[in-house]
Amino acid sequence: MKSKPFCALFAVYIALVLGLFLFASKLAAATPAHIGVLPDIHTSYLQFLDGRSPDAVDYYGGPHARRDVIDLILMQQALKLGGFNQPLEFVAEENYFRSIRNVLDGKTLTISGTIWYQDLESQQEKLHITPPLVMDGQFIVGLYTSPTNQKAQASKNLAQLIQLKIVTSNQWKPDLITLEALGFSKIMYTPNWVNMARMINAGRVDLTLSPFEMNPEQEIVVDGIRLVPIKGVKVAIRGSRHWPVSKTHPSGEAFYQALSRGISQLRANGTIDRAYRECGFFHPELANWQLLNPPVANQVLQ
């Protein structure tokens, strides 16, 4: 029979272990999970929320509703559904490339917006890749120009369009591959979306690729600059889009598992498709517009 002092010490030991476990659990829950976000997305995100909690969002349209903003809303809703309880803290990123590098290095858990699978597949030793938010074939975009660019707006077929100057980022591989496959040769580069809008507004280039927005003219406003689509034509960018999650970050596994569970639930209840329709990323009103690069039979990309 064990002595009473031994039993008392053992009880104290168990209490200490439980106390430390509870303390560690509370500390982990209180430690912010860092999410990289580009400044223009963060600004539009705050304008879209207008003081609301992301959990309270049930209609994903309206002012400042753009796909990358809705991605960030869906991420937080998915994390809640998946049981991830750590608070989120947004970290301003310099550019697309740097934001991915910070996830690879474990400085951030993930990025606010989804990423093309083609940009992630070679990094799977350091990254978890979530289930897709955007399926292959769903990423349909317009050719956007300035409302005052009459030459661009009068270009209605591919032969005319590829004579124009177009801007993209050389880090956006799927966009660049798409433009080259269409036959564009006058391609200029800049690292971020705001600069693209400014270049179009200044007349240095004619076009850029962008998802459509949900308003009567499908127009986009970037940093006070209006952009409008070339009416009647659209482009498909092939591939699926996912969130990368750092495998080297201490919270990476828990974050990935919760986010994946939540995405599956949002997919099953139709929230993802509805959110993308309401924000204008999925645009059924443009079903009759000409797709300049229809898919090749039996062509499948991740």
pLDDT band at 283 (very low <50, low <70, confident <90, very high): confident
Cβ burial, residue 134 (10 Å; 0-12/13-18/19+): buried
pLDDT at residue 252, rounded to an integer:
96
Q: Is the pLDDT of residue 300 over 50?
A: no
Delimit the CATH 3.40.190.10 region(s) of the chain. Answer: 33-135+241-291, 140-236
Q: What is the pLDDT of residue 90?
A: 96
- Cα–Cα distance, 68 to 72 (Å, whole number): 7
Q: How far apart are CA 199 and CA 166, in angstroms?
A: 10
pLDDT tens string 148-194? 999 999 999 999 999 999 999 988 888 998 999 999 999 999 988 99
Residue (of 149, 143, 147, 148) closest to 162 by Cα position: 143
What is the crossing angle of helices 67-82 and 271-278, to 10°?
Answer: 160
User: For residue 140, how far is the Cα from the chain centroid?
Assistant: 15
- How large is the average pLDDT for residues 240-258? 96
pLDDT category of residue 5 using cuts at 50, 70 and 90? low
C-alpha triplet 230, 236, 271: angle, nearest 5°? 105
Q: What is the mean pLDDT of the chain?
A: 88
Q: Residue 26: pLDDT band by 50, 70, 90 thresholds?
A: very low
Band of residue 255 on the pLDDT scale cut at 50, 70, 90: very high
d(Cα 106, Cα 5) in Å, to the nearest integer?
47
| E-strand stretches of 33-139 | 33-37, 88-92, 110-111, 115-116, 127-129
Beta bridge partners of 233: 290
Work out the average pLDDT over 14-21. Answer: 45
Domain 33-135+241-291 -> CATH class: alpha beta
DSSP 203-229: TS--EEEEE--SSTT--EEETTEEEEE
Q: What is the pLDDT of residues 122-147, one digit of tens each?
A: 999 999 999 999 998 899 999 999 99
Residues of the chain with pLDDT > 90, as a percent, come to 71
pLDDT at res. 124: 94
pTM attached to this predicted model = 0.75
Which residue did the predictor score with more confidence, 31 or 41?
41
The per-residue pLDDT for 297 is 46
> pLDDT by residue (tens digit) across 47-80?
999 999 999 999 999 989 989 999 999 999 999 9
Please tell me the CATH code under which domain 140-236 is placed: 3.40.190.10
Name residue, tokens 């998946």.
82
The DSSP secondary structure of 253-298, one letter per residue, reads HHHHHHHHHHHHHHHHTTHHHHHHHHTTSS-GGGTTSEESSPPPTT
Q: Is the pLDDT of residue 18 over 50?
A: no
Instruction: Give the tens place of pLDDT for each residue, 199-225.
Output: 999 999 999 999 887 778 889 999 999
